[in-house]
């Protein structure tokens, strides 16, 4: 079936059927900051090479086995994204928008997007991704999935070079990475990747406490996290470290907060991003919670934990609460985030006291007003 419509202002029919012939593979997750900046998503590896963390257990990737994609597959996907970009650009010119992308939103919505289910149509997902990316300026790319740096460095360099050659507008290329992988990479390899254009890494620290790292089977020690973080920064990468308030439960929240602050002080990343712990169904941590072997902290207890950690921080970075799991409270019919949830967060140390004051304010609010962790568990089902 051909998808076409008549533009009254110009007076001829534009055929959208060719646009529907291009698609590429997109993974299941990416950092919210990369979605918020509408990054082009290019899948370099499939799934997670570890898949053993007891709080996650690989379920974001459906517990599918890890795969390294071939250079040929990846280049074919980049070419498909380029073809979609070209078609969207050509459509803009045909409709008299002189290459501007934003005016096409209504055209595509009415004549293409409404005809398909975005959740199941991979081609439509690709068109939406490229369209949003072009609207944001076509400047950022996120390499999926969980640990692209596990790819051999020469191959990853070839992927990056191909991306930059295909899309000269790219200014930033980012990726998830396991600390263990960076720990094992040679400094010169990291420098080569940075110089080629890979510019930001997202690492799941979760906690700086060795007891907890062992308990959740993270597969890395606090010292390895420190070494990996320092190596990434020394190579010139912009570094986001993710922490998980609540991961220590009621029995280990103090050591979790203090040791996480210690590791972050050693690394001094560019961003700290808060991702509070919520047990996911069918994971070992959920089973421990269900059996009463792990006791969740309440929202006030989590605020005290975050407060203790921040009091111990000596970093120069941005602290971000850019996720809906961070504390929010009910005010009438609305939910109000206690801490702003934008991607830039708070500048430390300049705004450290601002965050502490907001946490103190939160502790003065009736705890029943906060969205409970148990409610969040239900929302994940």
pLDDT per position as a tens digit, 202-230: 999 999 999 999 999 999 999 999 999 99
Q: What is the mean pLDDT of the chain?
A: 92
Cite the DSSP H helix spans in 98-176: 104-111, 122-135, 153-166
Comparing 87-96, 140-149, 298-307, 354-363, the range with the smallest average pLDDT is: 87-96
Structure tokens at 250: 């009621």
On the CB side of 259, how many CA atoms lie within 13 Å of its CA? 21
Q: Is the pLDDT of residue 380 over 80?
A: no
What pLDDT does residue 117 have?
53
Q: Is the pLDDT of residue 30 over 50?
A: yes
DSSP designation for 292: T
pLDDT tens, residue by residue, 86-106: 999 999 998 889 999 999 888
Structure tokens at 129: 């991704």
What pLDDT does residue 59 have?
85
Structure tokens at 264: 């972050």
pLDDT tens, residue by residue, 289-336: 999 999 999 999 999 999 999 999 999 999 999 999 999 999 999 999
Report the distance separating Cα 329 and Cα 373, nearest Å: 12
For the chain, domains (ranges, CATH) are 1-138 (no CATH), 177-381 (3.30.750.200)
pLDDT tens, residue by residue, 172-183: 999 999 999 999
User: Which helix (H) or strand (E) covers residue 76, if one does?
Assistant: helix 71-94
**Residue 69, number of CB atoms within 10 A of its CB:** 21
Cite the DSSP H helix spans in 153-221: 153-166, 179-184, 187-196, 210-215
Whether omega before 349 lies within 30 degrees of 0, making that bond cis, reads yes
Q: Is the pLDDT of residue 115 over 80?
A: no
């Amino acid at each position: 079936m051909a998808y076409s419509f008549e533009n009254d202002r110009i007076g001829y029919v534009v055929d959208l059927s060719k646009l529907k012939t291009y698609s590429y593979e997109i993974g299941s997750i990416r950092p919210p900051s990369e979605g918020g900046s509408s990054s082009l998503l290019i899948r370099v590896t499939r799934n997670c090479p570890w898949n053993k963390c007891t709080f996650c257990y690989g379920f974001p990737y459906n517990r599918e086995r890890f795969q390294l994609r071939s250079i040929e597959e990846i280049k074919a996907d980049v070419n498909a994204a380029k073809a979609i970009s070209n078609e969207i650009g050509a459509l803009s010119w045909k409709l008299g928008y002189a290459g501007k992308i934003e005016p096409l939103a209504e055209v595509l919505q009415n004549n293409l997007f409404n005809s398909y289910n975005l959740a199941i149509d991979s081609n439509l997902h690709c068109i939406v991704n490229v369209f949003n990316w072009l609207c944001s300026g076509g400047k950022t790319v996120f390499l999926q999935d969980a640990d692209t740096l596990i790819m051999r460095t020469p191959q990853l360099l070839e992927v990056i070079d191909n991306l930059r050659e295909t899309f000269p507008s790219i200014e930033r290329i980012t990726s998830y990475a396991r600390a263990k992988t960076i720990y094992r990479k040679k400094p010169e390899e990291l420098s080569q990747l940075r110089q080629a254009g890979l510019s930001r890494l997202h690492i799941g620290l979760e906690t700086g406490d060795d007891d907890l790292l062992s308990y959740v089977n993270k597969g890395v020690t606090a010292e390895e996290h420190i070494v990996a973080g320092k190596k990434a920064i020394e190579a010139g990468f912009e570094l986001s470290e993710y922490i998980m308030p609540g991961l220590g439960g009621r029995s280990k929240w103090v050591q979790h907060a203090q040791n996480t602050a210690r590791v972050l002080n050693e690394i001094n990343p560019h961003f700290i991003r808060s991702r509070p712990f919520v047990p996911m169904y069918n994971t070992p941590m959920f089973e421990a919670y269900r059996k009463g072997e792990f006791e969740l902290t309440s929202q006030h207890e989590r605020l005290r934990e975050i407060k203790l950690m921040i009091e111990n921080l000596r970093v120069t970075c941005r602290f971000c609460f850019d996720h809906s799991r961070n504390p929010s409270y009910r005010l009438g019919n609305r939910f109000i985030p206690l801490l702003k949830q934008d991607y830039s967060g708070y500048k430390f140390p300049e705004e450290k006291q601002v965050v502490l004051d907001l946490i103190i304010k939160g502790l003065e609010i009736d705890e029943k007003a906060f969205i409970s962790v148990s409610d969040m568990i239900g929302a994940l089902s």
